[in-house]
Amino acid sequence: MKNLSAILFAVSLISAPLYGFEKPINTDVSDKANYVQTINYSPPSGQSDYVQVQNGPITYEELKTYAMRDCNFNRNPSEKLIDLLIDVEKTHNPPPTMRGMILAAACMESGFRADAKGDRRFSKNKRTPMAIGILQQWPFYEKAYGTNRTDPQSAATSWMQHIVRQIPKVKKQCRYKTEHRIWLASWVTGIRYKKPGGRCNERPKHYRLLKKWQRQIERDRKLQQKCNEHEECGC
């Protein structure tokens, strides 16, 4: 009888379901996979079967939210314009840590306004605007890239092209190894005047805004994680 009981106990252990942490079906953490569906998980009533990826790169969808609501120079920008800028940036494939660079620049330079005009003090008569458009580009862009500075797509495309063009020079001059540092130095090199010795250790002012958005998104993720763990929190 004891032997029979032992056998039955062993069989029950083998057939019993194994609970604990389960790997998600989809472990992709790209911007196309903000959420993943998990196995052996029954969410509380009313919650999605999908859980947010907490440790993946910040996504364009998250950055779009902050560009739409947290640009001090325009609290109600065009969603269509934000989407256009994101699409242009994606085609130039910046590293994940640089995602949103063009959104931060356009916010600070013009408040996402294609008709913005500035830098009049640099013109000969002190009245003619030198900087035109959503990214406040100077006439150089028209000559070098054939840019229509008042057209957001043309302006955004040439702005990104000019930064990408700096990468070979930055790699040689600054000797950085990581994509993040190479792109950051290329960014500041592309938007400022040439400087003897380069601008390897400088950062564009737009980068401060981008970092602010990134920190806020990380806080949002942590809050959402707490809400997922504690259903009663009311999030």
Q: pLDDT for 124-163, tens place per residue?
A: 999 999 999 999 999 999 999 999 999 999 999 999 999 9
Is residue 104 assigned to a domain? yes
- What average pLDDT is seen over the chain? 83
Distance CA 132, CA 126 (A): 15
Buried b vs exposed e over 81-94: b needs ≥16 C-beta within 10 Å?
bbeebbebbeebeb
Range of the structural domain that residue 174 is part of: 61-207
What gap in Å lies between CA 135 and CA 73, rounded to an integer?
13
Q: Mind listing the pLDDT tens digit for each residue in 108-122?
A: 999 999 999 999 999
Query: So what's the pLDDT on residue 7?
Result: 55
Question: pLDDT > 90: what percent of the chain?
Answer: 69
- What CATH number did the domain enclosing 175 receive? 1.10.530
Residue-level pLDDT at 196: 87
pLDDT, average across residues 23-32: 42
- Strand-strand pairing, 131-132 and 50-52: unpaired
Crossing angle of helices 101-110/79-91, nearest 10°? 130
pLDDT digits 0-9 by tens, 211-229: 999 999 999 999 988 888 7
Please give the average per-residue pLDDT across 163-167, as a whole number: 98
Does residue 20 lie within any of the structural domains?
Answer: no
* Choice between 42 and 202, residue whose per-residue pLDDT is larger: 202
| Best CA proximity match to 227, nearest among 46, 94, 28, 65 | 46
Number of separate domains in the chain = 1
Residue 40 lies in a domain: no
217 is a domain residue = no
Residue 179 lies in a domain: yes
Tell whether 224 is covered by a domain. Answer: no
Contacts of 114 (CB under 8 A, 6+ apart): 81, 133, 134, 150, 151, 152, 155
Which letter does DSSP use for residue 92 in this model? Answer: T
Higher pLDDT, 233 or 28: 233
Residue type for position 188: V
Given a cut of 60, is residue 23 above it in pLDDT? Answer: no
What is the value of pTM for the model shown? 0.76
Does 52 map to a domain? no
Q: Residue 171 has what pLDDT?
A: 96
Residue 111 lies in a domain: yes
Out of 3-7, 34-38, 67-71, 116-120, which region has the weakest mean confidence (pLDDT)? 34-38
> What is the SS3 assignment for 52?
strand
